[in-house]
Amino acid sequence: MTDIIRPSKKQQKLLTFIQQFIGEHGYSPSYREIMAGCDYTSVATVALHVNNLIKRGHLRKREHNARSLEVVNGQTSKLPLSTNQIKPSEEKWLVEKVDHFFHEAEQSGQNDPTILNNLQTLLNALKVLGLEGAAQSYTERLKQLRANTGTLPEE
């Protein structure tokens, strides 16, 4: 494919929706989410448009994989390349998830080394994502869990 046909306005709207969805969620939308987001009336219509965009070289899809749409052909240049930045809503969800894992570990009373190592990995992930404050707030809880099981703290 040397000559790529430019997308129509409707196709560009669909590409933009997919690109923004991936940017916000980190994975591609389902056909039903595309249907709702682009005001289509059926999933079959979405499939038709997606297949046309794949044929034209604007989308790529891994066969037999759900949520595998990728915008190609320079369309992705609008997205940040590889960042560790997350949105406030994602930060809130992530911190709530980490808190849930800590709460479960504290309530179970069976803090085996695997659980403690998993919690340490979560704290390290928070640091990588730039959420050092959140990671720091859980450090003392992890130390307490390690003290309760006689496990040495990891740094």
The full set of domain ranges for the chain reads 9-78, 88-149
In the prediction, which pLDDT does 83 show? 52
| pLDDT (0 to 100) of residue 70 | 87
How many angstroms separate the CA atoms of 31 and 101, rounded?
32
Q: Which pLDDT does position 151 carry in this prediction?
A: 57
CB 33 within 8 A of CB 67: no
Residues for the chain: how many in total? 155
At which residue do the structure tokens 């499939």 appear? Answer: 47
pLDDT by residue for the chain (155 residues), tens only, comes to 446 678 888 888 999 999 888 888 888 899 999 999 999 999 999 999 999 998 888 898 877 777 888 888 654 444 443 455 677 778 888 889 999 998 988 888 776 788 888 899 998 888 888 788 888 888 898 898 888 776 555 55
pLDDT, residue 14, reads 92
Provide the pLDDT for residue 88: 74
0.75 cut: is pTM over it? no
Tokens of 141: 């809880």
Q: What angle do CA 51, 54, 57 make, to 5 degrees?
A: 155
The CATH code that applies to domain 9-78 is 1.10.10.10
CB 40 within 8 A of CB 46: yes
